[in-house]
Amino acid sequence: MENRLINAQEQKRAAAQYAAAMVEDGMTVGLGSGTTAMMAVEAIGDRVRQGLHVVGVPTSEATARLARSFGISLVSLDERGRLDLAIDGADEVDPQLNLIKGHGGALLREKIVARAAARFVVIVDDSKRVIRLGQRAPLPVEVVPFGWTTTKLRLEWLSLSCDLRGGETPFKTASNNYILDCHPAAAIDLATPLVADAIKTQTGVVEHGLFLGLATTVVVGKTNGKVDVLHRPAPTPAA
């Protein structure tokens, strides 16, 4: 019998269903944003309808609406503070499980929720795996609207080529900020904490889409219908 190769949507769904199965009764779960994360919300919602008891912390209004439609109880992060698990998608994943996120524009809330979770599980299709961050996806940088052109200039001094998302009609985040989609020069390694810190400390920058060392597990949907489950590599012992 000939093996059937599945498309990216089916790969994402396979990863989402695997991640949803990691949710246990009584957990408080961070619910990410974007199409892949929505699949996980649906899969969790199906389990809730079958009797699973969980509480969700959504990272966007769209996620909250979908979760409510499945009967998932919701609370704010301020009400719980610490989460058992968070599930979200990513735009890129490197071999060390560093991520670029923010294509959907919810990177600030997503990072806050990811940092509040004991375990951060990322679900992607196979195309999101890269050798080097920035290889396929731009790096989103959330900036305050006031003086955004000067912020853009400072980022360009860091060897980033940046475009305002939405152009003449700028995209606005849930916090009414703008997003600059930035491409690094060839010599820039986005997975370096020094680079991440240099971006974050620029006046006018609210947050960036580099999620370094946050993912504990990445579930990758494969073209053969199976999933690869990757865990964060153990730190290399000091010499």
Instruction: Give catalytic residue positions.
Output: 110
Question: Which tokens go with 141?
Answer: 């940088």
Sign of torsion, CA 81 84 87 91?
Answer: positive
Long-range own/partner contacts, residues 164-171 (CB < 8 A, 24 or more apart): 165/105, 165/140, 170/145, 171/105
Asked if 79 and 51 count as a contact pair (C-beta separation under 8 A), the reply is: no
Asked if 18 and 227 count as a contact pair (C-beta separation under 8 A), the reply is: yes
Cα–Cα distance measured from residue 223 to residue 172, given in angstroms and rounded to the nearest whole number: 35
Question: Which tokens go with 214?
Answer: 């946050």
| Exposure string over 183-197, b if 16+ CB within 10 A, otherwise e | ebeeebebbeeebbe
